[in-house]
Amino acid sequence: MRIVLVGPPGAGKGTQAAYLAKNLSIPHISTGDLFRANISQGTPLGKQAKQFIDGGELVPDEVTIGMARDRMTQSDAVNGFLLDGFPRNVTQAKALDASLGADGLALDAVLDLEVPEDEVVKRIAGRRICRNDSAHVFHVSYNPPKTEGVCDVCGGELYQRPDDDEETVRKRLEVYHRETEPIIDHYRGQGLVVTISALGKVTDVTERAMEALKRDAAA
Ligand code: AMP
């Protein structure tokens, strides 16, 4: 299956993508994670992306589309993938459509995670992520680790993403509404959008998502 996950920052895309990718046996491809890996390794791409990420802006399309395409053409992605954070605007969506189309492929579904804005802000403010694996996500009040600052899963150090501060979150939300939301209409025109509520327990949201994808595949 080839799936795109959309939703505002804090909707739980990364958390859900990790579970869904495992359930569906496809790789989880997160452009945010790819950028953060490049930044921590100090690559030229990371240096280019950092200023945009720190400001809550989108990294330019020329950089992002090439990076996403490279990752999608790796051998583990031949039978499908779950895209998290890409595409993030209509230009990227059209580039993705064209590059899949050139290989005779197409997306199967666009899973839209819906969550009210006040919930998003609360979720992001308390979010703590493991340095070893970005799928290990905690929240200081909703899902606290057993030991403060330490990942329950692997013992890694938990940190707050630098772009999770309030001012940058507001900027990211504004960018989401302006740039990313229009891709939902773009894909609605192709009959691909499946919307679910991202409220409630992580496992309930995963179950809801799996059922919605199954219903969609059967339709
Ligand atoms: P995320 O981890 O998906 O929240 O992404 C973190 C940041 O990486 C975003 O706020 C953007 O600055 C950048 N980023 C991630 N994916 C994209 C994309 N598809 N296009 C442009 N910028 C992106």
All domains in the chain, ordered by first residue: 2-115+180-218 (3.40.50.300)
Please check whether residue 135 is in contact with residue 18, taking contact to mean a CB–CB distance below 8 angstroms: yes
Atom of ligand 1 nearest to the CA of 35: 8
Q: Mean pLDDT score of the chain, rounded to an integer?
A: 94
pLDDT for 102 equals 95
Among 35, 36, 8, which residue's Cα sits nearest to residue 129?
36
Catalytic residue among 2, 36, 88, 123: 88
d(CA 91, CA 139): 33
Catalytic residue among 36, 123, 172, 208: 172
Predicted model pTM: 0.92
- Per-residue pLDDT reduced to its tens digit, 15-63: 899 999 999 999 999 999 999 999 999 999 999 999 999 999 999 999 9
| pLDDT value at 126 more than 80 | yes
| Numbers of helices and strands, H then E, in the chain | 9, 8
d(CA 6, CA 13): 7
CA of 61 to the centre of ligand 1 (A): 11
- Per-residue pLDDT reduced to its tens digit, 129-160: 999 998 899 999 888 999 999 999 999 999 99
pLDDT for 134 equals 87
| pLDDT value at 219 more than 80 | no
Residues 6+ apart with CB under 8 A from 76: 27
Q: Which pair of tokens denotes residue 205?
A: 């949201």
Which single residue is written with the structure tokens 């720190």?
54
CA of 154 to the centre of ligand 1 (A): 25
HSE value, Cβ hemisphere, 13 Å, CA-based, for 7: 26
Nearest CA to ligand 1 atom 5: 32
pLDDT for 211 equals 94
d(CA 29, CA 174): 24
Q: Which pair of tokens denotes residue 132?
A: 């070893």
| pLDDT value at 113 more than 80 | yes
pLDDT for 216 equals 82
Q: Is the CB of 85 under 6 A from ligand 1?
A: yes
| pLDDT value at 66 more than 80 | yes
Confidence class for position 217, pLDDT limits 50, 70, 90: confident
Q: State the SS3 of 107-160.
A: CCEEEEEECCHHHHHHHHHCEEEECCCCCCEEECCCECCCCCCECCCCCCEEEC
pLDDT for 44 equals 95
Confidence class for position 166, pLDDT limits 50, 70, 90: confident
CA of 85 to the centre of ligand 1 (A): 6
Probe target for ligand 1 pocket from 53, 54, 170, with the most ligand atoms within 8 Å of CB? 53
